[in-house]
Amino acid sequence: MTVATGLLETDLSARLLRGVRVAQCVIVLVILLGLNLPNVLAGAAAYRPEWIGLAGWAVMVALALVDGLLVARHRFWGRARWPVAIGVLALAVAMALDLRPAELSGPAHITLGVAGWFWVLLFADGRLRDLVALIVVHLLVVLGLLLAAGRTDQVTLVSFATTAVAVSSFQLAVGMAGSALRAVARGATESALAEARARTAEEIATAVHSDREARYAALRSVALPLLSGIGAGTSPPSDPEVQRAAAAAAARLRRMFDEEGDAADALAAELGGLVDIAERRGVVVRYSERGPRQVPPPGAVREMLAAAGGALHASRVAARVTLTGVGEDVVLGVVTDGTPAEERLTEVRGSRVEGDGVTWVEVRWTP
């Protein structure tokens, strides 16, 4: 999965799960304020010391409010999910250990019914099996405390089982609803990306086709009169101007046949544009690409194009441009009959050789 896919899926998940998460947060706050608070106040004496129950209740209210803030901002718990989930489990176990054994299955044991809801909040964008594992571990710990305290009578065990099944099934049902919505988000993400790729490919194909049509039309406007003149005898092949025009047209035609169109990278595409500009000024340019190569970063591309553009701009009659992959390096070389100005390079390495009226400029990008 690409980064873009992950971001789009996260955004869709957040929006699709917003209603469910709001309902979950409201359920937790109603349980804490409407059910647990009266039980904590009435059963404070069941804890040792008595303030433990109210302190644990306050911590859970704070966590519920933090989750509400995340829901309002379309965000999830992310990497903090597991540390907070373990913290909730530790708080539930600590509060159960501070209870008198007789109250482990009573109303004062507030975490028995509410701890699972916090894991539902924390794993709103997580795996359902993690939610199930935490709920099961919590129930087994409480059951172990009951057995250790000798509370194995039928009434106590039936009461515990009833509470565990009723509350946990509701929590798991809400968790499964969130999981189903995440699956919908993944499907919607894949559909949206597929549609975007198809639309982009169509737009690229249209643009490439239009560009080729324009370039072939420009070539025909030069080549057809030239060929007609040669055929009619008005443009003799021995004429240097006719030879120069024929060489320019042939170079452009070879490049059009060799180019890969929409598969070309940004460097090759922009370089082709610079060659076209030079040819419109009457410069005969021989252009070739050799070997597979990587795509340099934008900064390196700008500097390589600046060096090549300066060399082509200085050309008077002829130039040769070569774009090559050498190992992991990308090498762009320009041989010109002019004297280009030196470019300031920071992202690529450059070299320059002059002699016999010819200047050779090379820029090299190394990953």
Taking alpha carbons only, the member of 332, 319, 325 closest to residue 359 is 319
> pLDDT confidence of 253, banded at 50, 70, 90?
low
Taking alpha carbons only, the member of 42, 78, 45, 39 closest to residue 60 is 39
> pLDDT confidence of 3, banded at 50, 70, 90?
very low
Question: Is residue 217 pLDDT above 60, yes or no?
Answer: yes
- Residue 351: phi and psi, rounded to 5, are -140, 160
Asked if residues 121 and 67 have their Cβ atoms less than 8 Å apart, the reply is yes
Question: Is residue 189 pLDDT above 80, yes or no?
Answer: no
Buried b (16+ CB within 10 A) or exposed e, 56-93: bbeebbebbeebbebbeeeebbeeebeebbeebbebbb
Query: Which carries the bigger pLDDT value, residue 78 or residue 240?
Result: 78
Question: Is residue 260 pLDDT above 70, yes or no?
Answer: no
Break the chain into its structural domains and give their ranges.
3-195, 236-365
Residue 341 CB burial class (10 angstroms; 0-12, 13-18, ≥19) = exposed
Pair type for strands 329-336 and 318-326: antiparallel
Distance of CA 349 to CAs 14, 265, 365, Å? 47, 20, 6
* pLDDT 10s digits, 330-364: 899 999 988 888 888 888 888 888 888 888 989 98
Please work out, in degrees rounded to the nearest 5, the angle formed at the alpha carbon of residue 89 by the alpha carbons of 85 and 93: 170
Question: Is residue 285 pLDDT above 80, yes or no?
Answer: yes
Q: In this structure, which CATH number among 3.40.190.100, 3.30.565.10, 3.30.420.40, 2.70.150.10 belongs to the domain 236-365?
A: 3.30.565.10
Task: Among 112-126, 198-212, 262-276, name the most confident range.
Answer: 112-126
pLDDT averaged over every residue in the chain: 81
> pLDDT confidence of 86, banded at 50, 70, 90?
very high
Residue 315 CB burial class (10 angstroms; 0-12, 13-18, ≥19) = buried
- DSSP H helix total and E strand total for the chain: 11, 5
* pLDDT 10s digits, 301-339: 888 888 888 888 888 888 899 888 888 888 999 999 888
